[in-house]
Amino acid sequence: MIELTDVHKSFGSNHVLRGVNLSVPQGESMVVIGGSGTGKSILIKSILGLVTPETGTITVDGKDVNKGDRDAFLARFGMLFQGAALFDSLPVWQNVAFRLLRGSLKKPKDEARDIAIEKLRRVGLSADVADRLPAELSGGMQKRVGLARAIAAEPEIIFFDEPTTGLDPIMSGVINDLIREIVTEMGATAITITHDMTSVRAIADKIAMLHAGKIRWTGPVADMDASTDPYVDQFIHGRAEGPIEAVR
């Protein structure tokens, strides 16, 4: 269970998170929606400890994320970054097996490579991409490699930051289906942040809408369309008119 209680985070005069409260039960796929610049990425970076909130608490299974053994804590997580964030200087297989080649989860090189190739296959990439550099891959392939890296160490919790941004609709569909399959198959807890409504419907068990630094609405994906919240209604239908200002 991931739990955020009254989390605040500012950058100078920009108050990004203004008291976020959110619970994500184990094994649930939560999608956080919201406009650009509303702090969705900061929210998951706060959970990972990449950003430290000024006030509020964030716990995973009751333990404060900023206390205790960081390596053991981070070993439970996998993350797909918006731009995939692959390491340019390493071949694809070493990117995927990065965690398996060093640290507490270290495995022999051959075994790590086999696992990397298996994970690449799981995301629909053949073994012949394993020795290529990330710069030699298309955007969609890079996203899939990022996804393979996120699941390589079989984490309990996976975060997806804008998984379909910059991809064509077909590749977006492929990535959405992969995420849904992997989360279901691994029984992982997932938080996805996106403003792509197709992704939301494909990936989510539950949705939370972040607006003005707070969770505006939360509920099961099936209830989203019937929501009477004008903010949710405007967002999911992509209307320029409504309570959310189009110019931010």
Partner 1 sequence: MSTLLASIGAAVLGFLAAIGRLALFTGQTISHLVRPPFYGREFGNALLQIGYFSLPVVGLTAFFTGGALALQIYSGGARFSAEAVVPQIVAIGMVRELGPVLVGLMIAARVTSSIAAEIATMKVTEQIDALVTLSTHPMKYLTLPRVLAATLVMPLLVGVGDIIGIYGGYIVGTERLGFNASAYLQNTADFLEPLDIISSLVKGAVFGFIAALMGCYYGMNSDRGAMGVGRATKSSVVAAAILILAANFLLTEAFFSA
**Nearest CB to partner 1, comparing residues 131 and 223:** 131
Task: Rank residues 79 and 167 by Cβ distance to partner 1 and give the closer one.
Answer: 79
Q: What is the DSSP string of 197-245?
A: HHHHHHH-SEEEEEETTEEEEEEEHHHHTT---HHHHHHHHT-SSSSS-
Beta strand 206-211 with 214-220 is antiparallel
One-letter amino acid for residue 137 of the chain? L
Encoded one letter per residue, x for contact with partner 1 by CB under 8 A and - for no contact, window 94-133 reads ----xx--xxxx----------------------------
Tally of CA atoms within 13 A in the half-sphere of 19 that contains its CB = 2
Q: Per rule CB under 8 A, is residue 79 in the interface with partner 1?
A: yes
Q: Does 160 bind partner 1 (CB under 8 A)?
A: no
Find the shortest distance in angstroms from Cβ 80 to partner 1. 10
CB of 5 to partner 1, least distance (A): 23
Place of tokens 């929501």: 227
Question: Cβ distance 159 to 77 under 8 Å?
Answer: yes
DSSP state at residue 28: -
Q: Please, which of residues 177-196 interact with partner 1 by CB under 8 A?
A: none
Under the binding rule (CB under 8 A), the answer on residue 75 touching partner 1 is yes
Which listed range, 45-53, 59-67, 202-210, 232-240, lies at the site for partner 1 (CB under 8 A)? 45-53
CA distance 18 to 212: 7
- Tell me the chain's radius of gyration from C-alpha atoms: 18
* Residue 48 engages partner 1 in binding (rule: CB under 8 A): yes
Listed residue (237, 234, 226) closest to 245, CA to CA: 234
Supply the DSSP symbol for 97. Answer: T
Locate tokens 């900023």: which residue?
66
Q: Please, what is the minimum distance in Å from the beta carbon of residue 159 to partner 1? A: 8
Q: Does 50 bind partner 1 (CB under 8 A)?
A: yes
Q: Which is nearer to partner 1, 149 or 211 (CB)?
A: 149
User: What residues numbered 135-154 form the site for partner 1, per CB under 8 A?
Assistant: 149
Using the Cα atoms of residue 107, residue 108, residue 109 and residue 114 in order, give the sign of their dihedral.
negative
Interface segment toward partner 1; rule CB under 8 A; list 53-61, 86-94, 215-223, 239-247:
86-94
Residue 78 binds partner 1, judged by CB under 8 A: yes
The number of residues that bind partner 1 (CB under 8 A) is 25
Which positions lie near partner 1, rule CB under 8 A?
A: 45, 48-50, 70-71, 74-75, 77-79, 81-83, 85-88, 98-99, 102-105, 149
